[in-house]
Amino acid sequence: MEPKQIKIALAGNPNSGKTTLFNKLTGSRQRIGNWPGVTIEKKEGTIKGHKHVTVQDLPGIYSLSPYTPEEEISRNYLLEEEPDVILNIIDSSNLERNLYLTTQLLELDIPVVVALNFIDVSRRDGHKIDSRKLETRLGCPVIETSALKGEGVDKCVACCIGAAEGDEQHGRAKKAGASFDAGVEQAIKDIESVIGETTPKRRRWVASKAFERDEKALVGLSLTALQKETIESIIRRAEEKLDDDSESIITAARYAAIKKLTDNVIVRAKRKDNLTRSDRIDRIVTHRFWAYPIFIAVMAVLYYIAISLGINTQDMVDGWFGDGLIPLVQDWMEGLGASGWLIGLVTDGVIGGVGAVLSFVPQMIILFILLGIMEDIGYMARIAFILDRLFRRFGLSGKSFIPMLIGTGCSVPGIMASRTIESQRDRRMTIINTPMIPCGAKLPIIALVAGAVFGGAWWVAPLTYFLGLFAVIISGIILKKTKIFQGEPSPFVMELPAYHVPSVGNVARSTWERSWSFIKRAGTIILLSSVVLWFLLHFAVVDGSLVMIEDDMIADSIAAKIGAVLGNLFAPLGFGGWQASLATVTGLIAKEEVISTFGVIFRIEDALDIVEEANYAGVAAIAQHFTQLSAFSFMLFNLFCPPCFAAMGAIKREMNSAKWTWFAIGYLFIFAYILSFIVYQIGLLFTGGAFSILSGLAVILLAGSLYLLFRKPRAGVLVSA
C-alpha cells in the first residue's frame, strides 16, 4: 500500500535559516518555478528518504497580513492549498519577533511544528531556552535545530510526518494561538459568534482578521449586511474603549501574548554590556563612519584575490584549449581530410571563441565563492543595511541593493529579485539601475582592459565595482528628481542574522547557481554567435559575389564593413575601430561575446595571454587599438550600456510593459554613451589634446548632468546630492 502523500509548508521570517533548512531537507530534489499568476520564485522539493513527502518553501514573511507580494502568496497558499502541516522556522536568537508569525499560524487550524533554529548560536552566546516549556504554552511541538549543522532536522521531519498522519503526540495545537487581554479576547469571541457557521474552519483567525478590518479574509463568506454592521460596531466599541485603531490594538495584543508565552522561557547570558559576539562585531562593521571604508576594503580584497588567483588557475584551463584541444582537433580533422575552412571554423571559430570565454571561469568561480562566504556568514545582510542609509539619501532603499548584490553574478536574477520591492516606482528604478553593477559576464571585459592596456593592474576590477555603485547613486538622484519617479523610497525592514561559520554546501550551491548561467551561455548563445562571427570575418562581397578570404584580408570581410559603419557611432568615445565597435555590439547578445569576438578576430587561443603577456601578438594587436583613456572609455560603455539579450528579456518580463522596457534600454544606452563621451573628450584635454567642438559639447553635457544632479527636487521629493 502506497503511503499517504504529505505536503509540508515551510514558513518563517526572512533570515531565519529557512532556505538552509529547505536545502538540507531536499538536497538536489528541488524544483524551481514561479507562483501561478505572479513572477516571484517558487521552490518545492521532495524530502530525502521520504518520496511521499513534499515540502513547499514559502517566501520569507513577518506576518499573514497581505502588505507585500510575499505575504499575500504565503497566506493564499496556506488558506487555499491547505498543507498537511506547517513547519515554522524560528530564529532562536530573536524569539519574540519570530513568534509574531507563529501566533497567526496557530490560528489556521493546520498542524504546526516549530523549528527553533540557530540553537547552536544561542548556546554559543550563553542563552538557554526551555523548549519544553515553550512547547507546552504554544500547544505544538518545538524542536531545537541548527539547519547549518543538521541538528534536529531528522526529528523535524518525523514530527511533521506524525502531525500530518494524525499522531496524537504530534497533533494539532491544543489551543488556537495565543490568548489576548480580556477586552480584545472578548471582541474576537463576539465576532466569532457573529460569523457563526459561515466559516466552519479557522474561525478564530477569520475573526481576528475581521477585527483588523482585513477585507480579504472575509472573501467567500456569505455575510449579510446586518452581520457586517454588527462586526463593525464590535470593532468601534473596542477602539473607543482601548483608545486606538483596531490594527494597532491587535498588534499590541499579540506582542503582549508573546511576552506571556516567553516569560521564564529564555535565560539570557549575563554580560556587562549585554552584547552578543555579533553585536560587538556590528559595532564596528555597521558603524556610521567606519562601515563604508570597511566595505570598500572587503570588496577590494575580494576582487584582488579573484583576479590574482584566477590568473594562476587560468593556466590549466588555457592549456586544455590552446595546447591540448585545438591541436588535437586540428590534427584529427586534417587526418580525415577536412577542408581548410572547416578546420578553421571549428578550431578558431568554435573552440577559440568559446575557449576565450571559458578561460575566465576560474576567476568568476573564485569571486562567487568569496561572495558566497560573505553572504553565508551574514556580512552581506549588513551591507544592505549600511547602504540603506546611503541609498535613502538618493531616493532608493536598501531593498534595491539586494537585486544589485545578486546582479554581481548575473543581471537576470538580479533584475528578477526586484519583485520584492512593493513600490512600482522604486521597482522600476531598481530594474533600470541593476544592470549597471558589473556582473560575472563583464569580468572578462575588465580583465581584458586591465591585462592588455593597464599592465594587469589588480585595482581595475574593484574600481569598476565601485564605479557601478557610484553610477547607480548618480542615476538614482537624477531619476528621483523627475516627475515619474518622485516620492518617498520604500521602507526597508530586515533581520540581521547572527554571524556564523559558512556552510560548505550553501557556498557551493550559491557558486554553482551563479556560474552555471555563464557556462550555459558559452555552450549555446556564444557558440552560435562565434560560428556566425567566424563566417562574417572570413567572407567578403567581391564584385557582387560572396567569396571566402584569407586571414590577412580580414579587414575586407563583411564583419569589418559592419564594424566600420558602427565605428562612426563610437568614434567620439575613443574606440571607433571596426574591431572594438563590432565587439561592443556583439556584447549585446551576451557580454562574454566581447571577449569571444576579440578572440576570433585576433586568433587568441589562450585568454591567459590577455591578462599576462603584453608582448603576445594577439594581445599586442588589441593594445594597439587603444590608449589607456580610450580603453577606459570602452570599458565604461560596455559596463553601463544595455545588458545582454537575456537581461533585456528579464527587464521586459518584470516591467510588463513594452514602453517601460524601451525606456530602460534607451536610458542605459544614453547614460553609458554620455558618460563615456564626457570621460574621453575631457580626458583628452588633460592629456594634451586640443580643444575642439566635441570637447565643447562634452563640457556642455557635463554641466547639464551636474544641473540634473544638484537641482532642487520637486515638492515632496526627499533626495540630496
**Residues 143, 49: contact at Cβ < 8 Å?**
no
Q: What is the model's pLDDT at position 610?
A: 43
Q: Which helix (H) or strand (E) holds 104?
A: helix 95-105
Q: How far apart are CA 181 and CA 254, in angstroms?
A: 9
480 touches 429 (CB < 8 A): yes
Mean pLDDT over all residues of the chain? 79
Mean pLDDT of 558-573: 89
- Highest mean pLDDT, choosing among 163-172, 549-558, 676-685: 676-685
From its phi and psi, is residue 412 left (phi > 0), alpha (psi between -120 and 50) or beta?
alpha
Residue 128, φ and ψ in degrees, nearest 5: -120, 130
Asked whether the predicted pLDDT for residue 572 surpasses 90, the reply is yes
Would the pLDDT of 404 be above 90?
no
End-to-end, the C-alpha distance of the chain in Å comes to 69
pLDDT the model gives residue 677: 96
Give the relative orientation of helices 443-452 and 617-624 as an angle to the nearest 10 degrees.
90
606 pLDDT band (50/70/90 cuts)?
very low
Residue 166 has pLDDT above 80, yes or no: no
Exposed/middle/buried for residue 484 (C-beta within 10 Å: 0-12, 13-18, 19+): exposed
As a whole-number percent, the residues of the chain with pLDDT over 90 amount to 12
Average pLDDT on 190-199 reads 78
Q: Which residue has the higher pLDDT, 271 or 364?
A: 364
SS3 265: coil
Tell me the pLDDT tens digit for each residue of 99-155.
989 988 988 888 999 999 988 888 877 778 888 988 888 889 999 998 888 888 889
Pairing of strands 6-12, 539-542: unpaired
CA atoms of 49 and 574, how far apart (whole Å): 61
* Residue bearing cell 546611503: 390
pTM (2 decimals)?
0.64
pLDDT at 609: 44
pLDDT of residue 616: 39
Q: pLDDT-derived band of residue 614, with 50, 70 and 90 as boundaries? A: very low
pLDDT of residue 359: 64
Alpha helices (H) along 571-715: 578-586, 593-601, 608-612, 617-624, 628-640, 645-655, 658-686, 693-710
| Percentage of residues in the chain having pLDDT higher than 70 | 80
Beta carbons within 10 angstroms of residue 288's beta carbon: 8
pLDDT tens digits along 665-721: 999 999 999 999 999 999 999 888 788 999 999 999 999 999 988 887 655 444 443
Is residue 490 within 8 Å of 421, Cβ to Cβ? Answer: yes
Give the confidence band of 397 by pLDDT, cuts at 50, 70, 90.
Answer: low
442 has a pLDDT exceeding 60:
yes
How high is the pLDDT of residue 266? 79
Residue 248 above 50 pLDDT?
Answer: yes
pLDDT at 509: 78
> Which 3-state string (H, E, C) describes 208-246?
HHHHCCCHHHHCCCCCCHHHHHHHHHHHHHHHHHHCCCH
Q: What are phi and psi of 501, to 5 degrees?
A: -65, 130
Task: Calculate the alpha carbon distances from 395 to 387, 401, 481, 721 in Å.
Answer: 12, 12, 9, 10
Amino acid letter, 663 = F
DSSP bridge pairs for 86: 9, 112
Q: Which three cell numbers, joined as nine digits, stand for 625?
A: 587599438
Mean pLDDT value across residues 434-461 = 80
d(CA 719, CA 673): 25
Domains of the chain listed by start with CATH number: 6-170 (3.40.50.300), 182-267 (1.10.287.1770), 293-491+506-710 (no CATH)
Q: Is pLDDT at 48 greater than 90 in this prediction?
A: no
Residue matched to cell numbers 571549428 = 346
What's the half-sphere exposure (Cβ side, CA atoms, 13 Å) at 80?
Answer: 11
User: Quick one: pLDDT band at residue 378, thresholds 50, 70, 90?
Assistant: confident
Q: d(Cα 707, Cα 718) in Å, to the nearest integer?
A: 17
What is the rounded distance in angstroms from the CA atom of residue 644 to the CA atom of residue 627?
26
For the chain, state the CA radius of gyration: 30
> Does the structure show a pLDDT above 60 at 176?
no
